[in-house]
Amino acid sequence: MKKRIGILLCAAAVVLCVSALACQPQPAKSLDGQNEVAAGKGQAKYVFLFIGDGMAMPQVSSAEVFSTARSSKDINITRLGFTKFPVTGLATTYDAGTFITDSASAGTAIATGNKTLSGVINMDAGKTQKFKPITEYIHEAGMKVGIVSTVTLNHATPASFYAKATSRSDYYDIAVQLAESDFDYYGGGSLLQQTGKNKDKQDALEIAKANGFTYVNTKDGFNALKPGGGKVIAISPRLQDDGAMQYEIDRKPDELSLADFTRKGIELLDNSKGFFMMIEGGKVDWACHANDAGAAIHDVLAMDAAIRVALDFAAKHPKNTLIVVTGDHETGGLTIGFAGTQYDTFFDKVALQKKSYVAFDDEVLKPYKAGISAANAKLADLLPSIKESFGIDFDSLSAFQKEQIEFAFQRSMGNEQIRSFAEDKYLLYGGYEPLTVKLTQMMNQTAGIGWTSYAHTGVPVPTFASGVHQEIFGGYYDNTDMFRKLASAMNLKVL
């Protein structure tokens, strides 16, 4: 009985709270008030949120060093477009269960202002309560919403801006939520498990079309998209690993880039009430998981190129455009500096890389493995391709380095006799093709780049802001504050 009275009192309190809140919408603010915009300035009407997945300062700094200071002698660093932004901040990234977040809980934090467990999208740690992402508030305010990613559109980060799911792996369920959403523009990679895990469900793209979406996956179709044509799903004509867009390092000049998807988003979303576009450089993370600094750096630069497109738009709408660039976590434990090179760096070696680890696997290693038995395979057969792909001159390596590459080659060819303990295997290769990961790691090390992990790490991420209300993104805060800062800049009434 006591319990029942307690429940009734709680229920009454909730009703009172809800009705009070309904009458008086609460402005977005944190305890210290730092999320509130200054009075008198206009609303951020055109808002770009760029998220580099797996991008913390090491990824940003590596891209800057790569671009401008390729040897130890040349220490002039020219800033990227976004590192010249007037306001910088730092955000903690821990989630409800660990100091090292994943993209689902980090996406939930940024999109809804709530902590949750790794793997959960826009729901609480108990997996019962749903959180409303900022995009829903934006849509309700009459602004248009665009979501762009280089990885699959139902991957954790983009999903955090339109879906709610107990598990980020429920790809089909998330794809259906995208298909049934009323947001205006989805662009980039494809949909993972589009017809379900067992390929026995209704095609999510068919559901999307029935819900009014125009779908294109050709360059001509993409170019033909014009404003006023309704909701759009635009998928890159060329897909690479798991249906993601290709790595920037593997992109041919005439293929669509992240900048192209950003430019098209502006064209389609621009309207008098404003828009919000989330643009994710998702493969910075994937490259860093695989310890491929070259691929990661080129994808950071591709994001910078996309940000420059947003800056061009901002130049035309300086009073009400806001551009925010951040990361969701760091990946790989990347750093500038390696024990073997001490105080020196040789980023010119990274510039010799011509393929991502995925392209090397697909175009060199897999065909080679398919055409030869393990007994007949010789590392010498691949040395010309290795030099062409990664700039590694095998003859110039030390005996120790040669031995490591030969060992990894034997492992990639499935030579059982040299199989080591599972733990060693993971620490050595992280579940990737042994030869490929050893080649990128070794080339990175000779360039003075170190890695500590094949997973994420727990260091803070930087934020760069430019435009109206940029000042509230300065300082050191938590990733959940991003939601309140964006809401405040857009003058959204969020609970």
Longest dimension (CA), the chain: 82
Backbone angles phi, psi at 470, to 5 degrees: -55, -30
Stretch binding Zn ion (CB under 5 A), from 91-99, 225-233, 281-289, 409-417: 281-289
285 binds Zn ion (CB under 5 A): yes
What does DSSP say about strands 321-327 and 46-52: parallel, antiparallel, or unpaired?
parallel
Question: Tokens 């897909």 identify what position?
Answer: 239
Stretch binding Zn ion (CB under 5 A), from 89-97, 195-203, 208-216, 279-287: 279-287
Measured from the CB of residue 328, what is the shortest distance to Zn ion in angstroms?
Answer: 9
Q: Please name which of 275, 300, 293 lies closest in space to residue 443, comparing C-alpha atoms.
A: 293
Measured from the CB of residue 437, what is the shortest distance to Zn ion in angstroms?
Answer: 16
Q: Which of residues 389-448 bind Zn ion (CB under 5 A)?
A: none
Q: What is the size of the binding site for Zn ion (CB under 5 A)?
A: 1
SS3 327: strand
Measured from the CB of residue 18, what is the shortest distance to Zn ion in angstroms?
Answer: 37
Centre a 10 Å sphere on the Cβ of residue 441 and count the other Cβ atoms it contains: 24
**Spatial distance between the Cα atoms of 435 and 413, rounded to a whole number of angstroms:** 9
Position closest to Zn ion via CB: 285
**Spatial distance between the Cα atoms of 183 and 4, rounded to a whole number of angstroms:** 42
Stretch binding Zn ion (CB under 5 A), from 1-9, 283-291, 311-319, 333-341: 283-291
Measured from the CB of residue 352, what is the shortest distance to Zn ion in angstroms?
Answer: 26
280 binds Zn ion (CB under 5 A): no
**Spatial distance between the Cα atoms of 99 and 83, rounded to a whole number of angstroms:** 26
**Spatial distance between the Cα atoms of 333 and 330, rounded to a whole number of angstroms:** 7
Measured from the CB of residue 299, what is the shortest distance to Zn ion in angstroms?
Answer: 13
When the beta carbons of 275 and 429 are compared against Zn ion, the nearer one is: 429
When the beta carbons of 250 and 280 are compared against Zn ion, the nearer one is: 280
Measured from the CB of residue 456, what is the shortest distance to Zn ion in angstroms?
Answer: 6
Stretch binding Zn ion (CB under 5 A), from 108-116, 278-286, 309-317, 472-480: 278-286
Stretch binding Zn ion (CB under 5 A), from 280-288, 367-375, 378-386, 420-428: 280-288
Measured from the CB of residue 217, what is the shortest distance to Zn ion in angstroms?
Answer: 25
Stretch binding Zn ion (CB under 5 A), from 259-267, 284-292, 317-325, 379-387: 284-292
Tokens representing residue 275 in the block: 């828009």
Tokens representing residue 68 in the block: 């401008």
Residues listed for the chain: 495
Q: What angle do CA 93, 87, 186 make, to 5 degrees?
A: 65
Measured from the CB of residue 285, what is the shortest distance to Zn ion in angstroms?
Answer: 4
**Spatial distance between the Cα atoms of 214 and 197, rounded to a whole number of angstroms:** 24
When the beta carbons of 44 and 303 are compared against Zn ion, the nearer one is: 303
Q: Which of residues 51-110 bind Zn ion (CB under 5 A)?
A: none
When the beta carbons of 250 and 285 are compared against Zn ion, the nearer one is: 285
Q: Which of residues 153-212 bind Zn ion (CB under 5 A)?
A: none
Instruction: Give the HSE-up count for residue 4: Cα atoms under 13 Å, Cβ half-sphere.
Output: 1
Enclosing H/E stretch for 200: none
When the beta carbons of 285 and 361 are compared against Zn ion, the nearer one is: 285
Decide if 55 contacts 82 (C-beta within 8 A): no
Contacting positions for Zn ion (CB under 5 A): 285
